[in-house]
Amino acid sequence: MEPVDRRYGPGHARSMTTDIQIARAAHKLPITDIAAKLGLAEDNILRYGPDKAKISHQTLDGLASRPRGNLVLVTAINPTPAGEGKTTTTVGLGDALNRIGKRATVCIREASLGPNFGMKGGAAGGGHAQIVPMEEMNLHFTGDFHAITAAHNLLAAMIDNHIYWGNDLDIDTRRITWRRVMDMNDRALRDIVLGLGGVSNGFVRQTGFDITVASEVMAILCLSRDLDDLHARLGRIVVAYTRDRRPVTARDLKADGAMTVLLRDALQPNLVQTLENNPALVHGGPFANIAHGCNSVIATDAALRLSDYVVTEAGFGADLGAEKFLDIKCRLAGLSPAAAVLVATVRALKMNGGVAKDNLGTEDVDAVRRGCANLGRHIENLRSFGVPLVVAVNHFHGDTSAEIAALQDYCSRHGVTAILCQHWAKGGAGAEDLARHVVTLVEKGQADFHTLYPDSMPLWQKIETICTRIHRAAHVEALPGIRAQLETWEAEGYGHLPVCIAKTQYSFSTDPDLRGAPEGHVIPVREVRLNAGAGFVVAICGQIMTMPGLPRHPAAETIGLNDLGQIEGLF
C-alpha cells in the first residue's frame, strides 16, 4: 500500500491511501504480545482495551537496577510549512533498528485533545511509519491529560477556597499566578473574571484558562522519576505570593497529596505499537515553548531499561527542542544521549533558502545550498553538546537527485553523513541505512555529552548563554524588572534551576520570517516565570499563546462516526 502524501496536497498524491487508511489497515498485535517483546508479562501491564496498556508502577520499580540501553535523539532543522517529518523519522528509525536485529523502543509525546477539534488531528508519524491506535491516541487515550486537568484545577479550586474561608496564608489575590486549564481550544476563557454572584461564591478576581498541555503539572509529570518525586515536585509549585511577596506553594495549601493521588495512574507510561508491531511508549506532552517539549522521563527511562536502543524526539527544531531536551530533561533525569539524528528535507531547506511554499515543486539546487546554512547551524550546535550525529534526509516525492546530492555534499563538507530515508513510503525498510549508521555511531562510543551551562551559573547568564551560543543573538535585552526578578528567585533558592527559552520555533531569531541562519540579532526577554515544581525558569521572548482558539470552520463541524462506527473527519 503506497501512501498519499497529504503533506503537500492531493495534486502530489501517489495513491488514494491516507495515513488514517494505513493506520486502520494495520495488523496490530495484542498489546500483551508487544509487552512480551519488552520482556514484560501480562501482570506487568494494565490493559486499556486490546491495543493500549500502561506499565505498572510495581514493574517500573523493579527496573531500577537494570542497565540502560542507548538513547538516540531525533531532532530537526527549524520547522517550515513544508514539513520535516521528525516523528515519522523517529518511528521509522525505531522500526529499522528492530529490523536489523536491535531491540528498539520508540518514545514520543501524547497528543492534546482540544486542538484536534480546531485543525485536523495529527497522526503519530505518517505513511508507513506510524504509531497506532491513531484514533484513541488523538482522543482520550488512557486519560492522562484528563488526570492532569483535574489535578491542576483541584489546586486552583483550593486556592480560591482557601481565600473564601479566611485566607490564613495571606494570599494577595492580585498575585495569584496559578490559572485553570482545559484540554480545549477556547479563546473565550483566556481572560475571565470569577467569583461573581455574591458572598457565597467568593471573592471577585481576574484570571483565565490555559490549555492543559501548558500546565506546569504536565511538565512535572514529564520530569518526575517516580511517585515520590512527583509528590515532591507538586508540593513545590508556586501558586501565588502573599501581600509581603513571599511565595505560596501547593504544599502550603496541602494540595500536593491529593494531586498525587489524581496523577497516580497517569504517571505510568503508555505502551502501544508501531505499524510494524514494535513497542512504542507514548507518554506526556508538555508544550515545547513555555515547557521543555519532551515525552516523560519515566517512559524514556523505562524504555532504556527494557531495550538496547530508545529513539525519542524533542519538540520544534534543534535550537529549541534539542537544547531543552539536553539542558533540561537529560540534566534533570541524568540521561546521556549516545547519538542524535538531525532530520532535514529538501523542501524545508528550499524554504530556508528563500523559496515560497507554492514553488516547492520546482527543482532549485541553489536554494537547497542556501538553505543548508540552517542545517549547518544546527550541526554546529549539536556538536557543542558532545553528541555524535547523523543527518536523516526524509525523502519526499518530487525531491530531485541533484537536490539530494547538494544536501549530501554540504553535509559531507561539514563532516557529517547525510542518509536518504524512505520510511514514510516503505516503513522500517526505508530507514535501515540510517539505523545501521546510528548503530555504528553508538558503538564507536564517541559520545561525550555535557550540558551547555552548569547549574551554578546565575539565571540571567544562563539565558544569555543559550541565546548567544545556540540562537546566535548578538545581545539579549531584559525588559524592566526581569533581572531583579531573577535575582529575587536566586535569593529564594531557585538559582540552580535550568532555563527554558520560549520563543518562535521558526527562526533562530525572534522574527518567525527570518529563515536560514541569522546572526547578530537581539533577543528581548519580555517576561520570566518560575516553574518551581517542574524545576525550570521560563524566559519568554515574544508572544506565547497558552490557550488556542478555534478557526472559522473548526474540524469539529465535520467530525463524526460513519456507518461502521469509525471516526471520520478527525484526520
Please report, in range form, the residues annotated as the binding site: 80-87
Q: Are 350 and 408 in contact (CB under 8 A)?
A: no
Based on the residue annotation, tell me whether 424 is a catalytic residue of this protein. Answer: yes
- Tell me how far, at minimum, the Cβ of 201 lies from a copy of itself, in Å: 5
In angstroms, the CA 479 to CA 536 distance is: 20
Which span sits near a copy of itself by CB under 8 A: 185-193, 347-355, 360-368, 457-465? 185-193
Give the one residue of 62, 66, 81, 201 binding a copy of itself; rule: CB under 8 A: 201
Q: Which of residues 12-31 bind a copy of itself (CB under 8 A)?
A: none
Q: Which is nearer to a copy of itself, 160 or 327 (CB)?
A: 160
- Tell me how far, at minimum, the Cβ of 284 lies from a copy of itself, in Å: 17
Q: Per the structure block, which three cell numbers stand in for 387? A: 553528541
Q: Which of residues 152-171 bind a copy of itself (CB under 8 A)?
A: 153-154, 156-158, 160-161, 164-165
For 188-192, which contacts have Cβ atoms below 8 Å and span 24 or more sequence positions?
189/547, 190/547
Cα dist. 316→42, 287, 403, 527 in Å? Answer: 36, 10, 24, 21
Based on the residue annotation, tell me whether 109 is a catalytic residue of this protein. Answer: yes
| 117 forms part of the interface with a copy of itself (CB under 8 A) | yes
Q: Which candidate in 288, 291, 478, 517 is catalytic?
A: 288
Q: Per the structure block, which three cell numbers stand in for 261? A: 493521588
Give the one residue of 13, 100, 194, 232 binding a copy of itself; rule: CB under 8 A: 194
Q: Which of residues 477-536 bind a copy of itself (CB under 8 A)?
A: none
**In one letter, which amino acid is 421?**
C
Q: Which candidate in 7, 54, 86, 305 is catalytic?
A: 86
- Tell me how far, at minimum, the Cβ of 390 lies from a copy of itself, in Å: 40
Based on the residue annotation, tell me whether 385 is a catalytic residue of this protein. Answer: no
Instruction: Mark 363-402 with x for binding to a copy of itself (rule: CB under 8 A) and - for no binding.
Output: ----------------------------------------
Q: Which candidate in 117, 396, 489, 571 is catalytic?
A: 396
Instruction: Mark 55-74 with x for binding to a copy of itself (rule: CB under 8 A) and - for no binding.
Output: --x-----------------
Length of the chain in terms of residues written:
571
* 489: nearest Cα among 541, 454, 453, 539: 539
Give the one residue of 36, 46, 169, 373 binding a copy of itself; rule: CB under 8 A: 46
Helix (H) or strand (E) holding 193: strand 192-194
In angstroms, the CA 344 to CA 341 distance is: 10
Based on the residue annotation, tell me whether 396 is a catalytic residue of this protein. Answer: yes
- Tell me how far, at minimum, the Cβ of 126 lies from a copy of itself, in Å: 22
- Rounded to 10 degrees, what is the CA torsion of 212, 304, 462, 502? -30
Q: What are phi and psi of 311, to 5 degrees?
A: -105, 125
Q: Which candidate in 117, 141, 178, 424 is catalytic?
A: 424
Q: Which is nearer to a copy of itself, 186 or 487 (CB)?
A: 186
Q: Are 499 and 459 in contact (CB under 8 A)?
A: yes
Annotated binding-site positions for ATP = 80-87
* 571: nearest Cα among 26, 244, 111, 94: 111
- Tell me how far, at minimum, the Cβ of 230 lies from a copy of itself, in Å: 10
DSSP 136-178: HHHTTTTSHHHHHHHHHHHHHHHHHHHHHTT-TT-EEEEEE--
| 196 forms part of the interface with a copy of itself (CB under 8 A) | yes
Q: Which candidate in 24, 28, 99, 120 is catalytic?
A: 120
- Tell me how far, at minimum, the Cβ of 274 lies from a copy of itself, in Å: 22
- Tell me how far, at minimum, the Cβ of 78 lies from a copy of itself, in Å: 26
| 564 forms part of the interface with a copy of itself (CB under 8 A) | no
| 39 forms part of the interface with a copy of itself (CB under 8 A) | no
* 310: nearest Cα among 102, 64, 87, 558: 102
- Tell me how far, at minimum, the Cβ of 275 lies from a copy of itself, in Å: 22
Based on the residue annotation, tell me whether 515 is a catalytic residue of this protein. Answer: no
Helix (H) or strand (E) holding 209: strand 209-211
Q: Which is nearer to a copy of itself, 164 or 449 (CB)?
A: 164
Based on the residue annotation, tell me whether 303 is a catalytic residue of this protein. Answer: no
| 103 forms part of the interface with a copy of itself (CB under 8 A) | no
In angstroms, the CA 365 to CA 350 distance is: 8
Give the one residue of 36, 139, 429, 544 binding a copy of itself; rule: CB under 8 A: 139
- Tell me how far, at minimum, the Cβ of 226 lies from a copy of itself, in Å: 10
In angstroms, the CA 230 to CA 129 distance is: 33
Q: Which is nearer to a copy of itself, 227 or 538 (CB)?
A: 227
Residues 6+ apart with CB under 8 A from 281: 55, 105, 106, 107, 108, 269, 270, 271, 272, 295, 299, 300, 302, 303
Give the one residue of 231, 283, 324, 329 binding a copy of itself; rule: CB under 8 A: 231
| 174 forms part of the interface with a copy of itself (CB under 8 A) | no
Which span sits near a copy of itself by CB under 8 A: 63-71, 214-222, 261-269, 532-540? 261-269
In angstroms, the CA 314 to CA 89 distance is: 12
Q: Cβ-count burial of 118 within 10 angstroms (0-12 exposed, 13-18 middle, 19+ buried)?
A: middle
**In one letter, which amino acid is 317?**
G
**For the stretch 122-135, what's the b/e string if a residue is b when 16 or more beta carbons lie within 10 angstroms of its beta carbon?**
bbbbbbbbbbbbbb
Q: Which is nearer to a copy of itself, 186 or 433 (CB)?
A: 186
C-alpha gyration radius of the chain: 23
Cα dist. 31→42, 43, 44, 62 in Å? Answer: 9, 12, 12, 20
Which span sits near a copy of itself by CB under 8 A: 338-346, 433-441, 443-451, 546-554? 546-554
**Which residues are known to be catalytic?**
86, 88, 109, 120, 288, 316, 396, 424
